[in-house]
Amino acid sequence: MRKKIIAGNWKMNNNKAETAALIQSLTPFNFSAEVRVMVAPAFTHLVQAEALTQGSRIEVLAQNMNAAESGAYTGEISATMLSSIGIQKVILGHSERRAFYNETDESLKAKVATAITHDMEIVFCFGEELDQRKAGSHFEVVKTQLETALFDLTPSQWSKVILAYEPVWAIGTGETATPEQAQEMHAYIRDLIASNYDQALEDSVSILYGGSVKPANAQSIFSQPDVDGGLIGGASLNADDFKAIIQSA
């Protein structure tokens, strides 16, 4: 049985004090044992977040990392650096990284490999753009994204992967995929996993939906049979909204 997962991607928002306040308003919250809750603050606040979440069930993840072990990559953060402050989880492949920082399926494959080497759990983001959805190529786009970056992992390595389908046209736009559109894509992804691996893996992989999830629409999306929770942007910056979303899982 897959647990529900609600992850807040705080992107490039909140200073140190604001991040602390947001975490401190989440840690006393008593959410269901069937739900995992994660938050992804900025790199500069990860040490603080790790300390403030000690003793709670809130898990902290990074928003990105470099594929290289170390070296002359000014401004970058390695898996070893994250591990050294107790962070063993990372978001990879967010559409904003793909769009603004030229991340590709190939470069993400390298990041995935590094994360696996360091025994890190990965929230792997992917999804089509608006013109691709309009052209009807969204299934093909998603297939290529997953095949390139993930489909040479072994089944046991997949235990470290959480998928996050985020149609780019629904991110920060207020336009959400309908529950049916989310379910259709998530079911397609499970079929892809089954045809590349087997039924056991198909059943075990968690697939989150992301893109304008709010308290008002969360329950209808999360109740779809192949949707295992959400990756939440804007609404995760407001403690009350994020808690309401967690309660909808």
Residues noted as catalytic: 94, 166
CB of 172 to ligand 13P, least distance (A): 4
158 or 165: CB nearest ligand 13P: 165
Token look-up 């329950």 returns 219
- Tell me the closest approach of the beta carbon of residue 181 to ligand 13P, in angstroms: 15
**Backbone angles phi and psi of 174, in degrees to 5:** 80, -10
In the DSSP assignment, the letter for residue 194 is: H
d(CA 105, CA 101): 13
Q: Which are the contacts of 5, defined by CB distance < 8 A and separation ≥ 6?
A: 35, 36, 37, 38, 162, 206, 208, 228, 229, 249
Contact indicator for 161, 202 with CB cutoff of 8 Å: no
**Strand, coil or helix: 40:** strand
Cβ(106)–Cβ(144) below 8 Å: no
Q: How far is the CB of 12 from ligand 13P (least distance, A)?
A: 12
Q: Which residues bind ligand 13P (CB under 6 A)?
A: 9, 94, 166, 171-172, 210-213, 231-235
By beta-carbon distance, which residue lies closest to ligand 13P?
233
Pick the closer one to ligand 13P by CB: 158 or 169. Answer: 169
Distance CA 75, CA 43 (A): 11
Shortest reach from residue 116's CB to ligand 13P, in Å: 21
